[in-house]
Amino acid sequence: MMVDNILEVSNLKKYFKTKQGILHAVDGVSFTLERGKTLGIVGESGCGKSTIGRTVLRLIEPTSGEIRFNGTDINKLNKHQMRSMRPQMQIIFQDPYSSLNPRRTVSQTIREPITLNRMISDRAKLDERVAQLMDMVGLAERFVNSYPHELDGGRRQRIGIARALSVNPEFIVCDEPVSALDVSIQAQILNLLKQLQRKMGLSYIFITHDMSVVNYFSDDIAVMYMGKMVEKAPVEELFSNPVHPYTKALLSAVPIPEYREEKHKRIILRGEVTSPVNLPDECRFAKRCSQACDQCIKKEPPLTEIRPGHFVCCCNI
Amino acid sequence: MDSKDIALEVKNLVVEYVTADGTVHAVNDINLTVKRQSCMGLVGETGAGKTSTALAIMNLIPSPPGIIRRGRIVLNGYETLSMKDTEMDAVRGKEVAMIFQDPMTALNPVLTIGEQIAESILMHEKISKTEALERAKQMLEMVGINGNRANNYPYQLSGGMKQRVVIAIALCCNPNLLIADEPTTALDVTIQAQVLELIDNLRESYKTSMLLITHDLGIVAEMCDEVSVMYAGRIVECGTVKEVFTDTKHPYTEGLFNSLPNINDRNAQLTPITGLVPDPTDLPPGCAFAPRCRYACAECGKRVPKDKWISATHMVACTAYEKPEFLIERNKK
Amino acid sequence: MQSSIVKTQNRVIRAEGKIRSRGMWAEVWRNFRKSFGAMLGLFIVGMIVVAAVAGNFIFDYDEHVVGQNVSESKQEPSAKHWFGTDEYGRDIFARVIWGARYSISIGFASVLLSSLVGVTLGALAGYYGGVTETIIMRLADIFMAVPPILLGICLVSAFGQNIFMLVIAVSVSAIPAMTRVSRASVMTVRDMEFVEAARAAGANDIVIIFRHVLINSLAPVIVQATLRISGTIIAIAALSFIGLGITAPTPEWGAMLSSARGYIRGHSYMALFPGLAIMITVMGFNLIGDGVRDSLDPKLKK
How close C13 gets to chain B, by Cα (Å)? 5
State yes or no: cis peptide before B65, omega within 30 of 0: yes
Give dist(CA B266, CA B186) in Å, integer. 26
Q: Which residues on A lie below 8 Å from C129 (Cβ)?
A: none
Q: How far apart are CA C238 and CA C253, in angstroms?
A: 9
Indicate if the alpha-carbon torsion angle C49, C55, C61, C67 is positive or negative: negative
Contact state of A255 with B262 under an 8 Å Cβ cutoff: no
Q: What is the pLDDT of residue B285?
A: 86
Give the pLDDT of residue A59. 92
CB pairs under 8 A between B and C: 44
Q: Report the gap between the CA of C37 and the closest CA in chain A (Å).
A: 27
- Interchain contact, B264 vs A256, CB within 8 Å: yes
What pLDDT is recorded for position C13?
37
| Residue A99 CB-density burial (10 A; 0-12 exposed, 13-18 middle, 19+ buried) | buried
CB contact under 8 A, C10 and B66: no
Comparison of pLDDT for A125 and A268, the residue scoring more: A125
Instruction: Please check whether residue A55 touches C, CB under 8 A.
Output: no
Q: d(Cα C54, Cα C46) in Å, to the nearest integer?
A: 12
- At the second CATH level, the architecture of A5-101+167-312 is 3-Layer(aba) Sandwich (3.40)
CA C206-C207-C211 angle, to 5 degrees, is: 120
The torsion of the CA quartet A166, A170, A173, A177, rounded to 10 degrees, works out to: 50
What average pLDDT does this structure show over A105-113? 93
Bond before C249 cis per omega within 30 degrees: yes
* Beta-strand pair B96-99/B177-181: parallel
CA distance C30 to C10: 16
Q: What is the mean pLDDT of residues B52-79?
A: 87
Tell me how close the Cα of A71 comes to any Cα of chain B, in angstroms. 32
pLDDT higher than 60, residue B208: yes
Least confident among A299-303, B237-241, C178-182, C293-297: C293-297
| Element holding B18 (H helix, E strand) | strand B6-19
Q: Which residues of B touch C2 (CB under 8 A)?
A: 17, 51-52, 55, 62, 66
Q: Which pLDDT does position A196 carry in this prediction?
A: 94
> From CA B307, how far away is CA B304, in angstroms rounded?
9
Q: How far apart are CA A147 and CA A105, in angstroms?
A: 5
Q: What is the pLDDT of residues A179-236, one digit of tens each?
A: 888 888 889 999 999 999 999 999 999 999 988 899 998 999 999 998 899 999 999 9
State yes or no: pLDDT of B58 exceeds 50.
yes
As a whole number, mean pLDDT of residues A155-180 equals 93
Are the beta carbons of B59 and C46 closer than 8 angstroms?
Answer: no
Indicate if the pLDDT at residue B91 is higher than 90: no
> Does A239 contact chain C (CB < 8 Å)?
no
> Best interface-test mutation with B: which of C8, C10, C299 has the largest number of B CBs within 10 A?
C10
Contacts of C3 in chain B (CB under 8 A): 17, 19, 62, 65
User: Among residues 121-160 of chain A, which lie with CB inside 8 Å of chain C?
Assistant: 142-143, 145-147, 149-152, 160
Q: Decide if B282 touches C, using CB distance below 8 A.
A: yes
Q: Smallest Cβ distance to C197: which of A84, A152, A163?
A: A163
Q: Rounded to an integer, what distance in angstroms lies between the CA atom of residue C9 and that of residue C19? A: 15
Q: What is the pLDDT of residues A27-42, one digit of tens each?
A: 989 999 999 999 999 9
- Which tops the pLDDT comparison, A184 or B4? A184
Whether A127 contacts A141, CB under 8 Å: no
Print burial letters for C111-133: b (CB count within 10 Å at least 16), e (below 16). Answer: bebbbebbbbbbbbbbbeeeeeb
**Of residues A258, A260, A268, nearest to B194 (C-beta):** A268
Q: How close A247 gets to chain B, by Cα (Å)?
A: 10
Nearest to C202 among A99, A117, A152 (CB): A117
Distance linking the first and last C-alpha atoms of chain B: 35
Most confident of A158-172, B161-175, B190-204, C263-277: A158-172
The pLDDT confidence band at residue B2, using thresholds 50, 70 and 90, is low
Please tell me the distance in Å from C196's CA to the nearest CA on chain A.
7
DSSP code of B39?
Answer: E
Q: Closest to C197 (Cβ–Cβ): which among A87, A93, A147?
A: A93
Task: Supply angle C-alpha B143, B183, B229, rounded to 5.
Answer: 135
Taking the alpha carbons at both ends of chain C, their separation in whole angstroms is 13
DSSP-assigned letter for residue C85: B
Q: What is the ipTM of this complex?
A: 0.84
Q: What is the pLDDT of residues B38-53, one digit of tens each?
A: 999 999 988 888 989 9
Q: What is the pLDDT of residue B155?
A: 87
Alpha-carbon distance C136 to A136, whole Å?
47
Which helix (DSSP H) or strand (DSSP E) does residue C135 occupy? helix C130-145
Buried b (16+ CB within 10 A) or exposed e, B36-69: bbbbbbbbbbbbbbbbbbbbbbbbebeeebbebe
Element (H, E) at B15: strand B6-19
What pLDDT is attached to residue C279? 92
Complete edge-to-edge strand list for the sheet that includes strand A21-34:
A21-34, A5-18, A64-69, A72-73
Q: In what order do the strands lie in the sheet with B78-79?
A: B22-35, B6-19, B66-75, B78-79
CA distance C5 to chain B (A): 7
User: Which chain A residues are closer than 8 Å to B193 by Cβ?
Assistant: 252-253, 266, 268-269
Residue C10 near chain B (CB below 8 Å): yes
Chains sharing 3 or more CB pairs under 8 A with chain A? B, C
Contact between chains at B21 and C10 (C-beta distance less than 8 A): yes
Inter-chain touch B194–A269, beta carbons under 8 Å: yes
| Calpha distance C85→C81 (Å, rounded) | 7
Positive or negative CA dihedral for A234, A238, A240, A242? positive
Interface test with A, best of C27, C190, C196, C213 (most A CBs within 10 A): C196
B55 touches C: beta carbon within 8 Å: yes
Contact state of B26 with C6 under an 8 Å Cβ cutoff: yes
CB C293 within 8 A of CB C100: no
Q: Which of A102-116, A173-187, A274-288, B79-93 has the lowest mean pLDDT?
A: A274-288
pLDDT (tens place) for every residue of chain C, 302 residues total? 333 333 333 343 333 333 455 666 777 888 888 888 999 999 999 999 998 888 888 877 777 777 787 787 778 888 888 888 888 888 888 888 888 888 888 889 999 999 999 999 999 999 998 899 999 999 999 988 888 788 888 888 888 888 888 888 888 888 999 999 999 999 989 888 899 999 999 888 889 998 899 888 888 888 889 888 888 888 888 888 888 877 777 888 888 888 888 888 888 888 899 899 999 999 999 999 888 888 876 554 43
pLDDT surpassing 80 at residue A278:
no
Residues of C within 8 A of B66 (CB-CB) are 2
Q: Do the chains contact at C34 and B279, CB–CB below 8 Å? A: no
C10 neighbourhood in chain B, CB within 8 Å? 19, 21-22, 24, 279-281
Parallel, antiparallel or unpaired: strands A310-312 and A304-307: antiparallel
A146/C216 touch (CB, cutoff 8 Å), yes or no: no
Which residue in C has a C-alpha nearest to residue B66's C-alpha? Answer: C3
Contacts of A255 in chain B (CB under 8 A): 192, 196, 216, 218-219, 221-222
| Interface residue B93 vs chain C (CB under 8 A) | no
Minimum CA–CA partner of A94 in chain C: C193
**Distance, CA of C240 to chain centre:** 18
Domains and CATH numbers, chain C: 2-300 (1.10.3720.10)
- For residue C176, give the H/E element and its range: helix C163-190
Q: What secondary structure letter does DSSP report for B54?
A: H
Rounded to two decimals, what is the model's pTM? 0.83
Contact across the interface for C9 and B66, Cβ inside 8 Å: no
H or E element, residue A188: helix A183-200
Cβ of B47 and C6 within 8 Å?
Answer: yes
Q: How far apart are CA C146 and CA B184, in angstroms?
A: 52
The Cα C228–Cα C291 span in angstroms is 14
Chain B residues with CB-CB distance to C13 below 8 A: 276, 278-279, 281-282
pLDDT at residue A146, as a whole number? 87
Under an 8 A CB cutoff, do B276 and C6 touch?
no
Q: What is the pLDDT of residue A301?
A: 85
For residues C28, C31, C33, C34, the Cα torsion angle rounded to the nearest 10 degrees is -170
Can you give the residue ranges of every domain in chain A?
Answer: 5-101+167-312
- Segment B123-131 shows an average pLDDT of 87
Of B190, B246, B273, the CB nearest to A184: B273
Side-chain-facing half-sphere of A212: CA atoms under 13 Å:
24
Taking alpha carbons only, the member of A14, A3, A5 closest to residue A72 is A5
A180 vs C: CB within 8 A: no
Cβ-nearest to A105 among C21, C200, C207: C21
Binary contact (A191, B272; C-beta < 8 A): yes
Question: CB distance from C79 to chain B under 8 Å?
Answer: no
3-class DSSP state for residue C217? helix
From chain B, the residues in CB contact with C6 under 8 A are: 17, 19, 24, 26, 47, 280
Write down which chains contact chain B via at least 3 CB pairs under 8 A.
A, C
CB contact under 8 A, C21 and A167: no
Q: What is the pLDDT of residue A115?
A: 92
